[in-house]
Amino acid sequence: MKAEETVEIDLVGKTSIADAMIITSGRSQRHVGSIADKVIQEFKSRGFGNPRVEGMPACDWVLIDAGDILVHIFRPEVRHFYNLEKIWGADRPADRLAG
């Protein structure tokens, strides 16, 4: 689907909400929606059931919650605004102190 700037963040030991977070971008609302549709289809076809999905009508930011895996698909401007990589990434101050 040509998702852009895809990163995976290991959440083990940081939170109990999931084990991994995947963050990626689409170039437009239509592209974000297409990527989300494909990810949802893949989860279903691989036996992960029906993931919970938020944000599909607007497609600025789509969150797919498949239990142990969270997938965030953003338009670039929205991704930059929320900056989840900084919030959850390995460069968090608490992680530096723990290491």
3-class SS of residue 25: strand
For the chain, domains (ranges, CATH) are 4-85 (3.30.460.10)
In the chain, what is the greatest distance between 2 CA atoms, to the nearest angstrom?
Answer: 41
Q: What is the pLDDT at residue 89?
A: 75
pLDDT digits (tens, 9 = 90+) for 18-51: 999 999 999 999 999 999 999 999 999 999 888 9
Evaluate whether 9 touches 59 at the Cβ level (below 8 Å): no
Percent of the chain with pLDDT over 90: 74
pLDDT of residue 51: 94
